[in-house]
């Protein structure tokens, strides 16, 4: 068929163009590599304004739990911390990992509950003598953390952030330790022969706003108890990758699709140069005398461009997997329709620009300006999470933004919303159809 003959001819011309291979295949990989090495580990993660408290919990608990507490003391402390909405608890597997994170400057401070923490807390008391021997955890600056088996690993290069974390754990420890010690002391006084009951009644009458026999802060102050929240607790995962390339880093889940989408639309330059070259050699004029309609000519030009675009999309995703260790998500096969629909939109725009451009200068100006502006507005150059809400909404006028939304669902969201992916693919196809319709109307065969 004439259409496939025309498509095969254009495909050969595209494959001979070394500029296309550099722009479409090598440049995005180079940019992903440079940015992947330059950006920090938090890039690509959802911004979180909560204060992160990193904890290594080695607490061995108690051999047999008394009436209070019904669990390890470390869990009581963590519950108190996680009950604060502005705090998130990050659990780290071992002390060595915590020391590594602090030594590398990735955490300003890490709190370590030593194995004997619960046993030390059980001994905290105002009494002078008891069995087991009582322990006084209170000092001039608050709770003496080392005395009760709490180690604070601090990065000396981040003193302010480390001090904030130290103050947070101090406040929490005071809320946990002081009521425990007061409750035990007045419980002891209440059991004294002859005077114990009268002491208890007197305390209740004179200090009716407090309950000195309670062992929690809520009980002591007669206030509402705060329950720990699992939403404020998470397990540490190394998002910084490994090796020289930081393979497997979370940021590649954002960088690879961002530049895959952006450079898909650089096909505008390649197709535009191809059209200009054909005008110079009067190839398009000859097509006017061939038994081909405008639609057939457009289709013959479109097919090889679409093939190149599809190859580019799949090549960059495969390279992202092999070179940068990116994760293809829970349903890798869903990436196929996203790549296809993105290619349709990119090829449609490329055909439109090529149809209205008459010289290489026009292609370079129109194509480069259009691709860079759309890339900046859509979030290809800067993550949309960092944009103000009004800009996020404005970015939806670009096909790139819809493609990025689909990729974000499949590559970043652990439970992707398939409806968002389907909607994005439908919109991308719509962009492609509109671009091609305008290109058909504007195309000049001279």
Q: How far apart are CA 20 and CA 266, in angstroms?
A: 9
Q: How many CB atoms lie within 10 A of CB 48?
A: 10
pLDDT digits (tens, 9 = 90+) for 254-296: 889 998 998 888 877 777 666 666 665 555 555 555 555 556 6
Q: Residue 74: what are its φ and ψ, rounded to 5°?
A: -60, -35
Q: How far apart are CA 291 and CA 78, in angstroms?
A: 78
pLDDT at position 330 over 70: yes
Share of residues in the chain with pLDDT > 90 (%): 33
The confidence band for 120, taking pLDDT boundaries of 50, 70 and 90, is very high
Domain end: 235, 256, 273, which one? Answer: 235
Work out the average pLDDT over 102-129.
91
Residues 31 and 109 in one domain: no
Mean of per-residue pLDDT scores for the chain: 82
Residues 221 and 112 in one domain: yes
The residue among 333, 199, 213, 360 whose CA lies nearest residue 277 is 360
Which residues make beta-bridge pairs with 243? none
Residues 225 and 249 in one domain: no
pLDDT at position 156 over 70: yes
Residues 323 and 437 in one domain: yes
Share of residues in the chain with pLDDT > 70 (%): 80
Q: Domain count of the chain?
A: 2
Residues 408 and 301 in one domain: yes
Characterise 61 by phi-psi region: left (phi > 0), alpha (psi -120 to 50), beta (else). Answer: left
Q: How far apart are CA 310 and CA 440, in angstroms?
A: 22
H/E stretch holding 138 reads strand 138-139
Task: Report which DSSP code applies to 242.
Answer: B
DSSP 268-318: HHHHHHHHHHHHHTTHHHHHHTSS--HHHHHHHHHHHHHHHHHHHHHHHHH
Domain end: 216, 235, 254, which one? Answer: 235
Residue 202 structure tokens: 């007197």
Residues 164 and 61 in one domain: yes
Residue 311 structure tokens: 């190859």
Residues 230 and 283 in one domain: no
Provide the 3-class DSSP secondary structure of residue 106.
coil
For residues 87 and 168, the answer to whether their CB atoms sit within 8 Å is yes
Residues 10 and 69 in one domain: no
Residues 129 and 192 in one domain: yes
Query: Directed axis angle between helix 159-190 and helix 196-206, to 10°?
Result: 130
Residues 200 and 341 in one domain: no
CA atoms within 13 A on the CB side of 320: 27
CA dihedral 409, 411, 414, 417 (to 10 degrees): 20
Range of the domain at 17: 2-43+242-442
Residues 38 and 98 in one domain: no
Residues 328 and 194 in one domain: no
Domain end: 235, 260, 279, which one? Answer: 235
Q: How far apart are CA 122 and CA 163, in angstroms?
A: 27
For residues 357 and 284, the answer to whether their CB atoms sit within 8 Å is no
Q: How far apart are CA 324 and CA 242, in angstroms?
A: 10
pLDDT at position 224 over 80: yes
pLDDT for res 7: 52
pLDDT at position 43 over 80: no
Q: How many CB atoms lie within 10 A of CB 240?
A: 16
């Amino acid at each position: 068929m004439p259409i496939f003959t025309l498509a095969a001819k254009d495909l050969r011309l595209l494959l001979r163009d070394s500029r296309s291979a550099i722009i479409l295949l090598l440049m995005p990989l180079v940019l992903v590599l440079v940015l992947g090495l330059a950006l920090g580990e938090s890039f690509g993660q959802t911004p979180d304004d909560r204060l992160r408290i990193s904890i290594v919990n080695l607490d061995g608990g108690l051999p047999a739990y008394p009436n209070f507490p019904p669990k390890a003391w470390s869990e009581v402390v963590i519950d108190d911390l996680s009950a604060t909405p502005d705090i998130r608890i990050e659990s780290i597997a071992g002390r060595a990992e915590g020391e590594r994170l602090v030594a590398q400057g990735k955490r300003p401070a890490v709190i370590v509950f030593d194995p004997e923490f619960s046993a030390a807390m059980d001994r905290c008391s105002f009494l002078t003598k008891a069995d087991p021997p009582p322990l006084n955890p209170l000092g001039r600056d608050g709770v003496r953390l080392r005395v009760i088996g709490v180690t604070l690993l601090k990065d000396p290069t981040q003193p302010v952030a480390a001090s904030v974390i130290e103050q947070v754990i101090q406040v929490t420890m005071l809320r946990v330790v002081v009521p425990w010690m007061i409750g035990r002391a007045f419980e002891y006084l209440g059991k004294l022969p002859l005077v114990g009951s009268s002491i208890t009644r007197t305390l209740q009458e004179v200090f009716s706003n407090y309950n000195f026999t309670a062992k929690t802060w809520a009980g002591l102050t007669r206030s509402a108890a705060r329950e720990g929240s699992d939403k404020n607790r998470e397990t540490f995962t190394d998002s910084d990758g490994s090796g020289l390339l930081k393979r497997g880093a979370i940021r590649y889940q954002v960088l690879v699709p961002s530049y895959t989408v952006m450079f898909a639309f650089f096909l505008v330059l390649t197709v535009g140069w191809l059209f200009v070259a054909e005008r110079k050699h009067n190839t398009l004029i000859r097509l006017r005398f061939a038994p081909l309609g405008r639609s057939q000519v457009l289709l013959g030009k479109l097919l090889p461009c679409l093939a190149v675009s599809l190859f580019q999309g799949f090549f960059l995703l495969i390279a992202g997997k092999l070179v940068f260790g990116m994760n293809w998500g829970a349903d890798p096969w869903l990436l196929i329709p996203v790549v296809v629909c993105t290619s349709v939109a990119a090829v449609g725009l490329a055909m439109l620009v090529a149809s209205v451009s008459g010289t290489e200068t026009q292609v370079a100006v129109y194509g480069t300006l259009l691709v860079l502006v759309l890339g900046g507005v859509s979030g290809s150059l800067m993550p949309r999470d960092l944009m103000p809400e009004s800009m996020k909404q404005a970015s939806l006028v670009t096909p790139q933004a819809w493609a990025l939304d689909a990729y974000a669902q499949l590559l970043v969201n652990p439970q992707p919303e398939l409806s968002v992916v389907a909607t994005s693919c439908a919109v991308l196809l719509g962009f492609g159809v509109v671009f091609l319709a305008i290109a058909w109307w504007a195309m000049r065969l001279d």
